[in-house]
Structure 1
Amino acid sequence: MEIRHLHYFMAVCEELHFTKAAEKLGISQPTLSQQIRVLEDELGMPLFDRIGKKIVVTEAGSLLFSYATEMLTTLQNVKDAINDLQELQRGQISVGIMPSDLDYRITQLVIDFHQKFPKVKLMILASIDIMRQVLENEVDIGIGTNVEPDDRLVIIPLRREEYVLTVSQEHPLANQTAITIAELKGLPMVMYPEGFFGREIVEEAVKKHGFQLHSILETSSVTSIMNLVRANIGATVQPYHLIQQINDPTLCSIRISDGAPSRSLSIIYRVDRYVSQATTAFIKQIKEYFKA
């Protein structure tokens, strides 16, 4: 069994169409079909059932797909490790992070890292589904929120952050230093739409007190939320450290004194993923940055 046979097989599994798989691989369809037959002859079992113009993966094919995925991942890790030994300060790192943190939290972190490792290309991707991105190898590492233990992941805790009520300096509550959760009831709010993680954290907290947020405007952009709050359209509830980073004197943060919503931030990556020297250095810098 040759590595190229596994690549051919995986392409057919992904496309479930020999012609499309052949085009993706840059070979002819007859050549691909012949190579798959060679692999089937070697294994002694069919890998695909051909039903007219459609194909389906057999039980043997499903088993091979599972092991081939692991084998090709391991092979890529070997290549990455060898490349990493050749030159420690090169390569590319892709990072998944919440949109709000990307907008306001990590600019200085990225600048500092680039100055230390100018040959390393950073790709910072905003996402509200970071765990899926990491598990599906769409990113190398993620900075996740309230990550549950998972055998497939390495989880490195960073910090826990409390949420605060944030209002315009023109808001009636602007001079208060603290507020109870009960006092949030009926307060006009500008928030993320339902289903967004930041919204759900706050909703879970107020639900324990028997009510829901009174959301009058919703947007998926934290920049828009803060602009609406500045215009005194409504209040919002956001992580305190995020508001600190925005550093806007026209915004007032009010501590929630009893059972404030909170989130925990963690670095996550797959346990079977090779972690390059550059990625290790970036993880170290993330930890130092959030610790500070």
Structure 2
Amino acid sequence: MELKYLQTFKTIIEEGSFSRAAEKLSYTQSTITFQVQQLEQELSAPLFEKIGRRMVLTKAGEKLIPYVDEVLSSVDKMKNFTEDLSQLQGDLHVAAAETMMCYKIPAVLKKFHEQAPQARLFLRSMNCYDIRDALLKGSIDLGVFYQDIGGLGSSLTTYPIGQYPLALVASPKIRKQFPDFITPGQQLPLPFIINEPACVFRQIFEAYLKEKDITLDHTIELWSIPTIKNLVKNDMGVSYLPSFSVKKELEDGELCTIDSELDGKIITAVCGRHKNKWISPLMQLFIDLVCQYGSV
């Protein structure tokens, strides 16, 4: 059924005659008549009847009016929906790994807000495994995480953001006391300060300690990267973090690196989505921005 037939039907009702409807729609009267006949044929019911010189609605035509109004109203809503998308409006749900959220995403958010001020961005800090699972379930639109966790399968599409080196860091005092993280079989009386067990760089470092048979006194587990750094700066232990997250502290001399056989180890950050997820203009904007500014 042609939408234009429904629009013609509604215009006839509004204007009161076939001729005035033809004038308003810039059709010939024969075109109006043809469209009404086509609509009557599709509905298998007469919609107008001639009373004297006037064409008036039949009972079927009267009953059709609310249905036509509903259809045309829905079409208008769809047009507005498309316009909203093109104007970068709507909601976007994004989850990001803690270190990316703290040190890479803020610059992205600033640009995103400048270009899409009417959008609503819902952000969550999650570990990389949970981000992967949320993308697979479709509970978030986009995820910013480290692909080193593996298990992405063929259901996710990822966009590379950047590759980042990792660093074993401590305060100058702790490094002077414990400079050797290479000799196997050591028992070092200091804690490892890091976030939750599913943290990808925690897993890398703990696997290294196991391989080298190096034992640390205990683990202090925190969820805040700034808090972890503050404890390490205050001689509480060592941590293993992406270099970008400790760049300022290394430059200021508050932290320093300790040599290990993990020197040169990198992790790769990506922006991911479910492969079947429709890429809205908002999603595309965020993907473009995080790939541009997240690597800086």
**Could you state the TM-score of these two structures normalised by the residue count of structure 2?**
0.62
The 5-angstrom pairing of residues 107-256 of structure 1 reads 107-128=106-127, 129-145=130-146, 146-148=148-150, 149-173=152-176, 181-182=182-183, 186=188, 188=190, 189-244=192-247, 249=252, 251-254=254-257, 256=259
Structure 2 letter corresponding to 1:253: C
Q: Are 1:282 and 2:286 counterparts?
A: yes
Match of 1:171, SS? helix
List alignment gaps of at least 5 residues for structure 2: 1-76
Alignment of 1:13-92 (within 5 A): 83-88=81-86, 89-92=88-91
Please give the secondary structure, in 1, of the residue aligned with 2:165: strand
Corresponding residue number in structure 2 for 1:37: none
Counterpart of 1:274 in 2: which secondary structure?
A: coil
Q: CA RMSD in A?
A: 3.1
Match of 2:38? none
Partner of 1:268: 272
Q: Which one has a bigger Cα radius of gyration?
A: 2
In structure 2, how many angstroms separate the alpha carbons of the residues matched to 1:226 and 1:81?
A: 51
Which letter maps to 1:291? S
The SS at the match of 1:208 is helix
Q: Matched residues in 2 for 1:247 and 1:160: separation?
A: 19
- Alpha-carbon distance change, 193 to 122 in structure 1, aligned in 2, over 3 angstroms: closer
Contact 1:187 1:235 (8 Å CA) reproduced: no
Alpha-carbon distance, 1:151 to partner: 1.1
For 1:251, what is the secondary structure of its paired residue?
A: coil
Partner letter of residue 274 of structure 2? R
Letter of the structure 1 residue corresponding to residue 188 of structure 2: G
TM-score, normalising length from structure 1? 0.62
**Higher mean displacement: 209-218 or 105-114:** 209-218
- Tell me the distance in 2 between the aligned counterparts of 1:212 and 1:80: 62
Residues 1:249 and 1:139: Cα distance change in structure 2 (over 3 Å)? same
- Give me the whole-angstrom Cα distance separating, in 1, the residues matched to 2:165 and 2:258: 9
Map of 2:102 onto structure 1: 103
